[in-house]
């Protein structure tokens, strides 16, 4: 069976879970055609991401003339299908925040995707995120391409479900995937009741072999790691404010901010204003090996997000036998168990976050080690990439089998 992965920008350092999923599907015996619209925006420092970029077929590299020519050929070959797709693109654009013109561009992209799927003998399309990539897959299907499914992650899809026509995308799909039970509940809010049976939960996965021998907790004062894009929803600014309180009683606590993004300058200003240059350091984006090294040097991961799906970095930290201090949002409580594998705090409250960090700093090392081991056992049981890919592969095969019966 051959699957086309229709993606927006790929690969991205923060979307390594897509790469792991694709590679795990290939180990399941599926053939995967990578069809992202454009390359990722961040520098690719991980060799795995660099290899994925080389294996990707970028739709927009065809150029405007190539896309328009493909659309015209589709119009001549199947005018009714093409006009139906044009009406749908107009309808989606009128609802959306990005407008009709952007959706007409998506239609051109979809014409290329549908043609490429036909040439390559693709049986099924799968998209990640219920945003523009799923729009392209939906339009490609209306243009005569194979059926599609998509994975929602949150929080973007759940912030604007009507503007994204999320319910319509679920209703027309072969099936839709959420990465947590919370995510499935959000899809259920917008899908028709009759589509609920097509809502599935498939977790993002980690590769256990990469965490086969966790490093013992380091000696010395508390060291924390925070990993993610520097954007408002990740809550790093609240974490800086919390650290300003923590160092008043625990001046040796250290935080590594791993990642980068549009908020970096604001974070640097806030750190300098609080006199935290010695306590907080930036690493920039790191390859997977570098992230694992930072986790090995830390006593715990801190994830102060305002909105999430179910963060991969939480899974990776738990696999590395590190306790997790996270906010009580979205799917995170499905994985992080208070007093057993870590701490959960309300989002956006620097005072409560600071108190939890102080409690973490004062927790005896044997207790932290026990929490880390409990978290490791939990994540390996629930988030093995090969196990989750097998679930997804079975969904692909079942959907294709049902499609053949309907013909």
Domains and CATH numbers, the chain: 2-205+385-406 (3.40.50.2000), 209-382 (3.40.50.2000)
State the pLDDT confidence band at 407, using cuts at 50, 70 and 90: low
| Unique residue bearing structure tokens 């989750």 | 388
Reference 89, options 113, 107, 74; nearest CA is 107
Among residues of the chain, what percentage have pLDDT more than 90? 89
Does the pLDDT of residue 190 top 80, yes or no?
A: yes
What is the token pair recorded at 188?
A: 């259920």
Output the pLDDT for position 220.
95
Q: Which ranges in 151-301 belong to alpha helices (H)?
A: 156-159, 166-172, 181-190, 236-249, 264-273, 288-296
Query: What average pLDDT does the structure give for the chain?
Result: 95
Q: How many CA atoms lie within 13 A of 22 on its CB side?
A: 30
Supply the pTM of this predicted model: 0.88
N-to-C CA span, the chain? 18
How far is residue 10's CA from residue 164's CA, in Å, rounded to a whole number? 21
How far is residue 270's CA from residue 328's CA, in Å, rounded to a whole number? 25
Range name among 30-34, 301-305, 307-311, 315-319 with the lowest pLDDT average = 307-311
Reference 190, options 221, 207, 217, 168; nearest CA is 168
Sequence length of the chain is: 407
Among residues of the chain, what percentage have pLDDT more than 70? 99
How far is residue 145's CA from residue 168's CA, in Å, rounded to a whole number? 18
Burial class for 114, CB neighbours closer than 10 Å (0-12, 13-18, 19+): buried
pLDDT digits (tens, 9 = 90+) for 148-172: 999 999 888 999 999 999 999 999 9
How far is residue 59's CA from residue 9's CA, in Å, rounded to a whole number? 10
How far is residue 362's CA from residue 219's CA, in Å, rounded to a whole number? 14
Within 8 A by CB and 6+ apart from 198, the residues are 170, 173, 174, 175, 176, 191
**Mean pLDDT of all residues in 263-287:** 96
Would you say 201 and 330 are in contact if contact means Cβ atoms under 8 Å apart?
no
């Amino acid at each position: 069976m051959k699957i086309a992965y229709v993606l927006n920008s790929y690969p991205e350092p923060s979307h390594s879970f897509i790469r792991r999923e694709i590679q795990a599907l290939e180990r399941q015996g599926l053939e995967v055609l990578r069809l992202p619209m454009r390359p990722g925006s961040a520098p690719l420092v991980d060799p795995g991401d660099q290899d994925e970029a080389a294996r990707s077929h970028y739709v927009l590299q065809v150029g405007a003339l190539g896309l328009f020519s493909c659309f015209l050929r589709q119009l001549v070959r199947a005018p009714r299908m093409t006009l139906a797709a044009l009406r749908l693109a107009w309808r989606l654009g009128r609802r959306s925040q990005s407008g009709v013109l952007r959706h007409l561009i998506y239609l051109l992209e979809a014409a290329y995707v549908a043609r490429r799927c036909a040439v390559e003998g693709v049986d099924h399309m799968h998209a990640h995120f219920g945003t523009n990539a799923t729009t392209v897959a939906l339009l490609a299907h209306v243009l005569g391409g194979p059926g599609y499914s998509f994975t929602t992650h949150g929080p973007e899809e759940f912030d604007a479900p009507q503007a994204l026509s999320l319910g319509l995308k679920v209703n027309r799909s072969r099936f839709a995937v959420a990465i947590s039970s919370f995510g499935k509940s959000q899809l259920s809010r917008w899908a028709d009741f009759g589509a609920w049976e097509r809502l599935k939960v498939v977790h993002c996965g980690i590769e256990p072999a990469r965490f086969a021998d966790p490093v013992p907790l380091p000696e010395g004062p508390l060291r924390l790691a925070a990993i993610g894009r520097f954007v408002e929803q990740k809550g790093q600014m609240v974490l800086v404010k919390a650290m300003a309180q923590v160092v008043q009683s625990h001046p040796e606590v250290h935080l590594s901010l791993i990642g980068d993004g549009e908020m970096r300058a604001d974070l640097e200003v806030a750190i300098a204003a609080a006199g935290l240059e010695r306590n907080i350091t930036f690493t920039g984006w790191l390859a997977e090996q570098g992230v694992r090294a930072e986790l090995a040097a830390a006593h715990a991961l801190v994830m102060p997000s305002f909105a999430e799906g179910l963060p991969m970095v939480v899974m990776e930290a738990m696999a590395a036998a590190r306790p997790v201090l996270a906010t009580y949002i979205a799917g995170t409580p499905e994985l992080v168990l208070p007093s057993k594998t870590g701490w959960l705090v309300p989002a956006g409250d620097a005072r409560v976050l600071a108190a939890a960090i102080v409690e973490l700093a004062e927790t005896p090392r044997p207790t932290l080690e026990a929490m880390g081991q409990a978290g490791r056992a939990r994540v390996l049981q629930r988030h093995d990439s090969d196990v989750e890919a097998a679930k997804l592969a079975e969904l692909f095969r079942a959907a294709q089998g049902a499609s053949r019966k309907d013909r």
